[in-house]
Structure 1
Amino acid sequence: MALETHVRRGHPITFGLLVIFGIVELAISAWLVSRFHARHDFSSLTERDRVAFTLFASCWTVVLGFFYGILFWHSAAGSILTSVASHMIFLFLTWVFWTAAAASITVELGGGLDCNTQRIFNYCDQLNALEAFAWIEWALTTFAFFFVLIRGVQAARRGDGYRGALA
């Protein structure tokens, strides 16, 4: 089975997982941002801002991940938007956003919270879930970025350049 077949099968799965976990992260972060704005019960301004940035990263991933998934499904080899370069730019920016979001939430929570003993943070379970799903998004984005990077090297070696098709 050719690698192109694996790409055509794997792309919707990978981007589907990015979007699904992004929706979960979006729901958690949107709920937290809503609570913080309504009740002003965040423990610090950095907690509020880091959760809001995670909301941005989630929106970015859901909207553009869905867009790239639909474009790839429609024309895997026929568009500049489904090229290796386009995927590399999108996935690199997404990777940067998720690295920042996951790392900042992890630093804020000190690597995770024991909800039975901590008394600093409100919404302990939701913050732990936010951190976990942020790292899941980071791992999926890292996997996708490195796979597209490998496909880019292959496209460049065969003479297509980075504007060549991903599949």
Structure 2
Amino acid sequence: MSLDSIIKRGHPIVFGLMIFFSFAEMIQTAVLVGSYNRNDDYPSSLLKGSTRFLLFTSLWTLFFGIAYIVGVVRSSSSFLFSIASHGAWLALTWLFWLAGSAAVTDGFRKLGNCGARGLGHCSQLQSAEAFGWINWILSTIALAAIVVVGARSARSGNGFGGALNA
């Protein structure tokens, strides 16, 4: 199987998974943020900020992930959907997921065992943390693939502004 056919099959699969898990993250964090705002009972200021940031990151990934899937299918030769564009977006998205997931993880570490403390929404916070790390793993895979494709494209003399293919 050639790298080009792997990209054509893999791009919608990886981006589809990112969209799916971002949607799940969006639902989890939107419910958490709504409940915490309504009751004004955030467990800590760190979890307040990181939960809101994960909500933003999930919406960011959902919106741009759909745009990239549609764009690659409809206009793969456009610079908007080029290797460089994918690389820049994925690098920023990777950083967002890393920061948000690490902040939630740190918030849990500082709280201790939230289940034993009777903390409300403990399992929802844990699933938001898990979905965040899943999205970070998926964005890591996608970013690594774009780096490989970009390196091959640059070596062949096509640069990074070309279409997303081998």
> Does the alignment reach a TM-score above 0.5?
yes
Aligned counterparts, 1:17-166, within 5 A: 17-76=17-76, 78-110=77-109, 114=113, 116-119=115-118, 121-166=119-164
Unaligned runs of 5+ in 1: none
Q: Distance in 1 between matches of 2:31 and 2:143?
A: 29
Cα deviation 1:90-126 (Å, max 9, x = unaligned): 000000100000100000011997554233x320000
Question: AA paired with 2:98?
Answer: T
The code of the aligned residue for 2:74 comes to H
Aligned length: 165
Structure 2 unaligned segments of length 5 or more: list them: none
Q: Kindly indicate whether the alpha-carbon contact (under 8 Å) linking 1:98 and 1:138 is maintained by their aligned counterparts in 2.
A: yes
Distance 1:140 1:35 in 2: 28
Provide the secondary structure at the position in 2 that maps to 1:110. Answer: helix
Is 2:84–2:161's contact at 8 Å kept on the other side of the alignment? yes
Q: Secondary structure at the match of 2:157?
A: coil
- Report the TM-score when normalising by structure 1: 0.94
CA contact under 8 A between 1:42 and 1:122: conserved in structure 2?
no
How many Å separate the matches in 1 of 2:58 and 2:150? 26
Share of identical aligned residues, percent? 38
